[in-house]
């Protein structure tokens, strides 16, 4: 885990704990102990925010599948409807197609999904949108919230990351969005992996092997056909490489996924080894990686292991 970050995170947590104490002075120690026991037994609740109907699937589908296999609850939220992400169709027809694609992904992964009705390319860090994100996190009763870092290349990614960061304190403030009860414990907030270097590079705190669920990850990418067999190949000049048959497309997609997520495993193999050991880390072919946000609850490594319960030999 990033030691520099760990040593500098006490202030936001102290502020949050102070507000919680002020708003719950009549809670007894016995009630708190009982709540802790209940928290240890109940399934984890994870909510992931991506800017478009494919971002959550690209960055977190493997880890989501592993959570779901263990009985934990995961929800993906696209903050825009993706209605301009294509070179031949747009508007309502494209938004409906992309919503259907991520709904198919949710079936594959065993999770829930939601697409907000905000135009692709137009999300902004407004007060209204901050309230929307805050309500979604509260309604899900999230233990863990994941989104983009706010220095991503795409304005929708950046502003989604900022909105989630802006909600990282407001979710525990009772009189912000009082129509939805505030959370009594601030979730852990984390970022998905990216390659951007300025103003600071991604530094993983958790790297999750996705080899056991790679078939589900590949099936999700295959289900996002508007993006990965049409739009992205056209946009980046390799449309002529896309195979024609469904079987050939699936194999092509698997090879590309192994290259992308194998690259994550290779880049962060030292961090991976901290979680699974050097010998096991050397065998991992594909991974997803996550970095702690400095806002929200600041977990110990033991608490992170509870949120990512994949490192004790379970599938």
SS3 sequence of 79-117: CCCCCCCCCCCCHHHHHHHHHHHHHHHHHHHCCEEEECC
Whether omega before 238 lies within 30 degrees of 0, making that bond cis, reads: no
Per-residue pLDDT, 49:
98
For residue 51, which of 188, 152, 166, 127 has the smallest C-alpha distance?
Answer: 152
The CATH class that applies to domain 3-25+38-209+289-302 reads alpha beta
Q: Is the pLDDT of residue 166 over 60?
A: yes
Q: Dihedral sign, CA of 221, 223, 227, 233?
A: positive
Q: What is the pLDDT of residues 99-117, one digit of tens each?
A: 999 999 999 999 999 999 9
| DSSP assigned state of 247 | H
Q: What is the pLDDT of residues 264-275, one digit of tens each?
A: 999 999 999 999
C-alpha to C-alpha distance for 230 and 243, rounded to whole angstroms: 11
Section 16-43 average pLDDT: 48
At 312, the pLDDT band (50, 70, 90 cuts) reads confident
Section 67-89 average pLDDT: 98
* Better-predicted residue by pLDDT, 39 or 131: 131
Per-residue pLDDT, 1:
59
Per-residue pLDDT, 314:
42
Section 270-294 average pLDDT: 97
Q: Is the pLDDT of residue 16 over 50?
A: no
The H or E element spanning position 60 is helix 55-69
* Better-predicted residue by pLDDT, 20 or 185: 185
Per-residue pLDDT, 266:
98
At 41, the pLDDT band (50, 70, 90 cuts) reads confident
**Contact status, residue 253 vs residue 129, Cβ threshold 8 Å:** no
């Amino acid at each position: 885990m990033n030691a520099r970050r760990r040593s500098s995170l006490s202030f936001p947590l102290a502020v949050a704990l102070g507000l919680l104490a002020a708003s719950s002075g009549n809670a007894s120690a016995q009630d708190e102990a009982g709540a802790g026991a209940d928290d240890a037994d109940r399934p984890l609740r994870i909510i992931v925010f991506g800017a478009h109907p494919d971002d959550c699937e690209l960055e977190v589908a493997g880890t989501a599948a592993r959570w779901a296999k263990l009985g934990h609850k995961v929800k993906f939220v696209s903050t825009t409807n993706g209605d301009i992400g294509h070179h031949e169709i747009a508007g309502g027809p494209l938004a409906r197609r992309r919503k259907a694609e991520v709904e198919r992904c949710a079936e594959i992964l065993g999770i829930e999904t939601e697409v907000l009705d905000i135009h692709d390319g137009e999300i902004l860090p407004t007060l209204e949108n901050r309230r929307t994100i805050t309500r979604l996190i509260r309604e899900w009763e999230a233990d863990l919230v994941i989104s983009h870092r706010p220095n991503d290349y795409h304005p929708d990614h950046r502003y989604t990351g900022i909105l989630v960061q802006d909600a990282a304190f407001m979710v525990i403030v009772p009189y912000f969005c009082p129509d939805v009860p505030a959370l009594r414990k601030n979730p852990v907030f984390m970022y998905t992996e990216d390659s951007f270097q300025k103003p600071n590079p991604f530094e993983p705190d958790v790297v999750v092997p996705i080899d056991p669920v790679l078939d589900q990850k590949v099936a999700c990418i295959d289900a996002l056909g508007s993006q990965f067999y049409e739009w992205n190949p056209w946009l980046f000049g390799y449309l002529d490489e896309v195979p024609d048959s469904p079987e050939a497309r699936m194999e092509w997609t698997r090879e590309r996924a192994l290259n992308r997520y194998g690259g994550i495993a290779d880049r962060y193999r030292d961090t991976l080894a901290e979680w699974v050991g050097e010998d096991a880390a050397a065998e991992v072919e594909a991974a997803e990686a996550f970095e702690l946000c400095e806002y929200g609850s600041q977990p110990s490594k033991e608490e992170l292991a509870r949120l990512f319960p994949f490192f004790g030999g379970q599938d």
